[in-house]
Structure 1
Amino acid sequence: MDLVIGPLDLSAHVDEALAVQAVAFGLGPDEVAVRRQIVLRHMASPGARAYGASTADGRLAGFVYGMPNDRAHWWSTVVEPYLRALRNDAWLDDSFVITELHVHPAYQNRGAGRGLITTITDTAAQPRSILSAIDTESPARALYRSLGYQDLARRVLFPSAPRPYVVMGASLPLLRRRPITDFRPRRADG
């Protein structure tokens, strides 16, 4: 991967991060303005942290941020009834929430998303992680599944969101791919 992953002062780089999110998620200027205030509020939460994937010349190509879950936060209040209906609401306790993860399309499929989410969850004190994603089969959902995330509730509706979401959860640490160096070819003579 030609990107470097490291801690990100998201409050100081919020506009750069939201520019990545706007391209990756298809957001318009009004949505970006609303999300800017949300990101700044989130980053003031206890335990909130962010990581960025940067190019060699220092441009932000992707970012992730999250925090320990708090049942009083808006996101938890929306997803809790869906999780409770499936007896999965205990996942809201002692979990680290991946609030946002976005990689600029020009840098997708290079391992940046995997690197960002494993880096941030490796620093979590909680034993598990939860997140929400658009409830459709997508590269993001495939990535999350490959890391050990499982569906906890589907068809979750957020106010003003045009499409339903899925809430996913995984035990930490997240699963890792076996390195190719662990591959042992079968001998031709045996």
Structure 2
Amino acid sequence: MLRFPGHGHPRPDDIVIGPLDLTAHVDEALAVQAAAFGLGPDEVAVRRQIVLRHMTLHGARALGATRAGRLVGFVYGMPNDRAHWWSTVVEPYLRAQDRDHWLDDSFVITELHVHPRHQKHGIGRALITTITDGADEPRSILSAIDIESPARGLYRSLGYEDLARRVHFPSAPKPYAVMGAPLPLRRP
């Protein structure tokens, strides 16, 4: 069962969504990401430095999903900045589609991961809708591996649409899709 702060007292088996000090819990979060994304120790080490750097950026914030005090999912994001690395990579792909305006005044979902044992229970949906509900920007953007996956299905159900496909990030073996949605996100 999902419970949100202020909606009664959590039971030990409830999933609780709330603010996450991602800097303090980076290793726990990356263990969830490694399980969800199939990352090895070298990839986790690189991502650790990226996450810690991201959390120093203006407006960066994170939410966690916990069960019995243990992190089972997390999301983090920030207001987009065209000077950030991710934006510089995706901008030419978006410009080719006449959609580079999506890089302005958008909240970017940087990472969203739920441990495989806890997927398909609405945790990812609760994390992404809760973090974007707190955004001041009128829209959200993100990137996802460019395959038909449960994650892409979730994003589409929330109102995200493909803005650019076959986006290649340096050192990423698979192409990505950049997706965008107006805020607030669509609810079922």
* TM-score, with structure 2 as normaliser: 0.93
Q: Distance in 1 between matches of 2:138 and 2:54?
A: 21
Code of the aligned partner of 1:90: H
How far 1:43 sits from its partner (Å)? 0.3
Code of the aligned partner of 1:53: A
Code of the aligned partner of 1:6: G
Q: CA RMSD in A?
A: 0.4
How far 1:150 sits from its partner (Å)? 0.3
Q: Distance in 2 between matches of 1:22 and 1:7?
A: 21
Aligned to 2:75: 64
Q: Distance in 2 between matches of 1:144 and 1:155?
A: 17
What are the residue-to-residue correspondences of 1:1-190 with 2, within 5 Å? 1=1, 2-55=14-67, 57-177=68-188
SS at match of 2:179: strand
Q: Distance in 1 between matches of 2:120 and 2:65?
A: 13
Q: Distance in 2 between matches of 1:78 and 1:142?
A: 24
Q: Distance in 2 between matches of 1:91 and 1:114?
A: 22
Q: Distance in 2 between matches of 1:17 and 1:6?
A: 14
Question: Radius of gyration: which is bigger?
Answer: 1
How far 1:113 sits from its partner (Å)? 0.1
| Ranges of 4+ aligned residues in structure 1 off by more than 3 Å | none
Name the count of aligned residue pairs: 176
- 1:63-90 CA-to-partner distances (Å, cap 9, x unmatched) read 0000000000000000000000000000
Q: Distance in 2 between matches of 1:78 and 1:44?
A: 21
Q: Distance in 2 between matches of 1:148 and 1:16?
A: 30
Code of the aligned partner of 2:119: Q
Code of the aligned partner of 2:42: D
Q: Distance in 2 between matches of 1:22 and 1:121?
A: 24
Q: Distance in 1 between matches of 2:28 and 2:172?
A: 23
- 1:6-41 CA-to-partner distances (Å, cap 9, x unmatched) read 000000000000000000000000000000000000
SS at match of 2:63: strand
Segments of structure 1 that go 5 or more residues without pairing to the other structure are 178-190
Segments of structure 2 that go 5 or more residues without pairing to the other structure are 2-13
SS at match of 1:32: helix
- State, as a whole percentage, how many aligned pairs show the same letter: 81
SS at match of 1:70: coil
How far 1:158 sits from its partner (Å)? 0.3
